[in-house]
Amino acid sequence: MSSNTAPGMFNRRKLAQAAALGGLLPAAGYATAALSAGDAPSASSTIFDVRRFGARGDGKSDDTKAIQSAIDAGAHGGAVFVPPGLYLSGELQLMPHVSIIGVAAWSYRAPGGSVIRLNDPKAACLLNITGAFGVSVEGLSLEGGNLGASTHGILLNKPDYGKEEDAFRIERSQVAHFSGDGVRLVRAWCFSIRHCMIAHNGGDGVSLRGWDGFLLDNWLSGNRGAGFGARQENASCTFTANRIEWNGEGILIAGGDGYNITGNFFDRSGGCALVLREGANGPCEQMNITGNYLKRSGKTAKPESHDSGQVRMEGARGVTFTGNNLQVGRDDGGGGQLSPAYGIIYRGLQHCVISNNVLHNGALKELLLDLGGNETGVVVKDNPGCLYQAKS
């Protein structure tokens, strides 16, 4: 059966037009192709191009009302398309089961493609996903301009966990230069953040109060707080293949449980790359941490302080830290101070294993620092390495 006649399939002309836009999801690609070809949406259309609601995307006009109108029109099952351009906007409230989709063309240092830039310093956030169950944010470049005192890029803020999973997705998007957190989640329940760059924000890259999350293949870079910070109740998150670099701290978890942290690259954290500490709800428990590379942590820490470490584990229960690689370093180009002083710092552990990690040039002062207070069933062994040795 040809692609021109197969039910539900694209015809060749529209498929080619969609592909030219740079790999949007098939549904969004089809919608964009149809709109660019001049096809009027039917009465039952669920594709809403913000330009048809008056958005200009010229970097001068206030497009808040137009974008919000498109979102409202797509409530409960629509797809909102944001074509490439620079859209100035205040806070936008997303709706349940709505996708807001753009063309991802951002680079490490600059926004690009479909850019929505905050223009209201009094806004709590740019995209508010509170109550927007099943929402998808994809292919956007969200730019904060460092406006406001604590304005977040994407915000979910619920008074309680409720009876329904949030089940939102943030994908292939850049969230940068917000005065608050890049993504702030308060009582979030079931979510995924994939293939994103969350960078250069005044708070954390991702701040979580909640559980059941997947963070896969993201850049968490240059945030003043932690790349990922969970300081209140938190649990059950999977971190895989993320690059967590140049943040105030790498990953900070207080009193969480049920984490898998596997195959990530931690680079040049201001303090420790990974911190597990007790929180208001008790100790960190039941975590698997393996196959990660932790490099040149402690950039801004006092050289002799315990913040100048690769890993700091205090009061943890049931944690395995195995098969990781730790290395001293300095800034790119050979600048900055060498760090960190310590490799793995631990105290007050119970039923934990720290083994088979490699610390070749792993620290400046001590590879493993035991601060005492450990209880039963703590295994620390077979962690080969050496203190930093300058190349001759």
Q: How many residues does the chain have?
A: 392
Query: Please, which pLDDT band fits residue 392 given cuts at 50, 70 and 90?
Result: low
Average of per-residue pLDDT across 348-355: 98
Residue with tokens 């597990």: 276
Evaluate if residue 173 carries a pLDDT over 60: yes
Predicted pLDDT of residue 390: 87
pLDDT > 70? residue 74: yes
Domain ranges of the chain: 41-224, 227-392
Residue 88: both structure tokens together:
């100035």
Q: Is the pLDDT of residue 83 over 70?
A: yes
pLDDT at 21 over 90: no
**Nearest alpha carbon to residue 357 among 261, 265, 289, 283:** 289
Choose between 77 and 97: higher pLDDT: 97
Question: With respect to CATH, is domain 41-224 assigned 2.160.20.10?
Answer: yes
**pTM across the whole model:** 0.91
> Which pLDDT belongs to residue 33?
43
Q: What is the mean pLDDT of the chain?
A: 91
CB atoms within 10 A of CB 371: 13
* Per-position b or e across 150-171, b if 16+ CB within 10 A of its CB: ebbbbbbbbeeeeeeebbbebb
Position 25 pLDDT exceeds 60: no
| Residue predicted with more confidence, 263 or 6 | 263
User: pLDDT exceeding 90 applies to what percent of the chain?
Assistant: 86
Q: What is the gyration radius of the CA atoms in the chain, in angstroms?
A: 23
Q: 213, 188 in Cβ contact below 8 A?
A: yes
> Mean pLDDT across the stretch 269-294?
97
Checking if the pLDDT of 309 tops 50, the result is yes
Smallest CA-to-CA distance from 330 within 268, 266, 269 is with 268
| pLDDT score of 7 more than 50 | no
Closest CA to 162 of 210, 111, 95, 119: 210
Q: How confident is the model at residue 108 (pLDDT cuts 50, 70, 90)?
A: very high
Give the confidence band of 12 by pLDDT, cuts at 50, 70, 90.
Answer: very low
* Matching residue, tokens 């631990």: 346
